[in-house]
Amino acid sequence: MAARSEIVRQILAEMRSGSVREEPFRRLVDLYYTPVYQVFAKRGFTPDDCLDLTQETFLGIYTGIRSFRREADFDTWLFKIARNAFRKRLRWRAAEKRRGEEVSLDAEEEDEAAQLPIASPEPAPAEAALQRERSRVLREAMDKLPEQMRKCMTLRVEQDLKYREIAVVLRLSPETVKAHLFQARRRLQEMLGPYFRDSLPDWDEEAS
């Protein structure tokens, strides 16, 4: 997004040089409000928390703008501020939980993975054994796929990513990812037979 980076460079230059920083900062807020808010929204924070964290992020930018190195990438710098804001919020939440004595051992972990969807309740032992067996067979079959196809499939199955997300992670085009997944599904069906047809992840229905 060359146009945006040019606008940002101009805003930052104005903020650095002028005694009145509010007007250019306002333009920066207008430019980044939505993407920053969405970073938090995608992490599963409530709208109130998202607004608060977005505010924290912009206050961090306002405070640290003079220390921002001109040659650095502004988006990366901004993202680090946003990430620090939500890490701080996660730590605060964990501390709140500890105070309420509702904490599990997992809550000690400040890992961002804590924001990922919680696993479904544990299945019954027989069902669990069956699931384990299916996973093993599926994994063995996936290992036989060509590398790129296997990686697309692994990210789809294990990290529940969408086409576009897989494309970002593997630096491929979404069309290539789609084609790989289509091929992978066909090959797995051939390898595993109709028994597994319903257990294979349904990537055709993703909302993209």
Partner 1 sequence: MNETETHLPVEELAAYQAGDLPEAAQARVRDHLMRCPACTRMLLDLDALRRGVEPEDEAPDHEKERFWRALQPRLLALRSSRRLQIVQLLAAILAVAVVGLAIQNASLRQTVHDLSQPDLGPPVRDLSATAVRSADAPAAVSLAPDDRFFTLILSPADLRDFPDHEVVLERAGAGEIWRGRGLHRNRYGTFSLILARRQTGAGDYTLRLFGISGEHRMSVGEYHFRIETQQAP
CB closer to partner 1 out of 37 and 203: 37
73 binds partner 1 (CB under 8 A): yes
Taking the complex as a whole, the smallest distance from the CB of residue 157 to partner 1 amounts, in Å, to: 12
- Footprint (CB under 8 A) of partner 1, residues 168-207: 168-171
Query: Minimum distance between the CB of residue 31 and partner 1, rounded to whole angstroms?
Result: 9
Coil, helix or strand for 45?
Answer: coil
CA dist 10 → 13, 17, 27 (Å): 5, 11, 11
| Alpha-carbon gap, residue 72 to 120, rounded angstroms | 42
DSSP state string for 53-116? HHHHHHHHHHHHGGGS-TTS-HHHHHHHHHHHHHHHHHHHHHHHHHHTT---GGGG---GGGGS
105 Cβ contact partners less than 8 Å away, ≥ 6 residues apart: none
Return the exposure string of 51-78: e unless at least 16 CB atoms fall within 10 Å of the residue's CB, then b. Answer: eebbebbbebbeeebeeeeeeeebeebb
Query: What is the nearest approach in angstroms of partner 1 to the Cβ of residue 79?
Result: 5
Interacting residues with partner 1 between 98 and 157 (CB under 8 A)? 111-113, 115-116, 151, 154-155
The stretch near partner 1 (CB under 8 A) out of 6-14, 73-81, 137-145, 194-202 is: 73-81
- Figure out which of the listed residues 14, 107, 137, 165 binds partner 1, where binding follows CB under 8 A: 165
Residue 49 touching partner 1 (CB under 8 A): no
Give the interface with partner 1 as residue ranges (CB under 8 A). 1, 4, 22, 25-26, 29-30, 33-39, 42-43, 51, 54-55, 58-59, 62-63, 73, 75-76, 78-80, 82-83, 111-113, 115-116, 151, 154-155, 159, 161, 165, 168-171
